[in-house]
């Protein structure tokens, strides 16, 4: 028991002895974590483009499909601000141009597919691959604002796995599955605040850094100049005392003139 107490006392003693470096380290770590989270909020993409999937194994040879989808949806993403899911279809040969029926089933009622007027529509698309370039097909998705909401600290994730309709049998396309994250109002406000701060704060921060660098350089140059001047004055004082001791008045007068040039207030 005494050993544990002695070790504890020694630990607290070391902490008190190195309190300032520890506080600086904690401050630097806190700033680094805050900046990393800040940059993650600012740089997070609003949409993500998925990889292209060759459909040969699904009964549609020489056809590629890919999905571009919104990474997040907030309660404000409704009506005209709804997110857009884009299916890109491309045929690798002219013979592969044929319609494909896709279904995007929703796992719950947290999001909904809507038209331009905000009315609900089924999550189905008939796509005709383009040749030689891919053709886009859009489906609007919105926050349904139901009981399936994001929490204050955690988002609600909605995974959508497209299906290919082949006759009456839907075929899952797991490679095209994607996740949309529903944000809380708090998360949306935090991200928008971070973006506004980055938009306005980065130029101000850059200006502050430039001014700080200029001031530091100016003070550094002044300090070097003052040190050089002090060394010159010290050398002249030594030489002047030596000339006076030897009664070399002309040389002493020359040293005094040089001292007056460097230090006009010298008497």
Tokens 């008939």: give the residue. 126
Angle, helices 2-17 vs 19-43, to 10°: value is 70
CA 111, distance to chain mean position in Å, is 27
- Beta-strand relationship, 63-70 and 169-172: unpaired
What pLDDT is stored for residue 172 in this prediction?
93
What pLDDT is stored for residue 148 in this prediction?
67
Segments making up each domain of the chain, as ranges: 2-43, 47-183, 191-262
pLDDT-based confidence at residue 208 (cuts at 50, 70, 90)? confident
pLDDT-based confidence at residue 217 (cuts at 50, 70, 90)? confident
What pLDDT is stored for residue 17 in this prediction?
66
What pLDDT is stored for residue 232 in this prediction?
73
| Structural contact between residues 183 and 74, judged by C-beta atoms closer than 8 angstroms | yes
Provide the sign of the torsion angle of the four alpha carbons 26, 31, 35, 41, taken in this order: positive
Evaluate if pTM is beyond 0.85.
Answer: no
Q: Which residues pair with 176 in a beta bridge?
A: none
What pLDDT is stored for residue 126 in this prediction?
93
CA distance 88 to 67: 6
Superfamily of domain 47-183: Uncharacterised protein PF12988, DUF3872 (2.60.40.2410)
* Residues whose CB falls within 8 Å of the CB of residue 257, separated by 6 or more in sequence, listed in order: none
* 25-64 pLDDT, tens digit each: 777 777 666 666 666 656 677 889 999 999 999 988 999 9
The closest of 113, 117, 183 to 144, measured between CA atoms, is 113
CA distance 82 to 103: 19
Q: Which residues pair with 88 in a beta bridge?
A: 66, 136
H-type helices in 100-184, by residue range? none
Angle, helices 19-43 vs 185-245, to 10°: value is 130
């Amino acid at each position: 028991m005494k050993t544990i107490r002695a070790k504890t006392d020694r630990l607290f003693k070391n902490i008190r002895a190195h309190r300032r470096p520890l506080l600086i380290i904690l401050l630097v770590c806190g700033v680094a974590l805050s900046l990393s989270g800040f940059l993650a909020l600012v740089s997070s993409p609003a949409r993500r483009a998925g990889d292209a999937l060759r459909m040969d194994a699904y009964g549609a040879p020489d056809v590629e499909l890919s999905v571009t989808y919104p990474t997040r949806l907030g309660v404000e993403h409704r009506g005209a601000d709804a997110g857009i899911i884009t299916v890109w279809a491309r045929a690798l040969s002219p013979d592969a141009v044929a319609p494909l029926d896709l279904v995007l089933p929703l796992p719950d009622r947290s999001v909904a597919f809507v038209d331009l007027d905000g009315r609900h529509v089924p999550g189905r698309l008939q796509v005709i691959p383009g040749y030689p370039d891919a053709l886009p097909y859009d489906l609007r998705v919105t926050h349904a604002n139901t009981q399936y909401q994001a929490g204050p600290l955690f988002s609600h994730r909605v995974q959508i796995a497209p299906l290919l309709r082949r006759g009456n049998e839907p075929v899952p396309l797991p490679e095209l599955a994607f996740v949309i994250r529903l944000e809380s109002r708090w998360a949306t406000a935090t991200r928008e605040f971070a973006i506004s701060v980055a938009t306005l704060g980065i130029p101000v921060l850059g200006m502050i850094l430039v001014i700080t660098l200029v001031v530091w350089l100016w003070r550094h140059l002044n300090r070097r100049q003052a040190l050089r001047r002090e060394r010159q004055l010290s050398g002249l004082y030594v030489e002047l005392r030596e000339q006076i001791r030897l009664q070399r008045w002309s040389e002493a007068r020359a040293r005094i003139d040089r001292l007056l040039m460097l230090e006009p207030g010298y008497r």
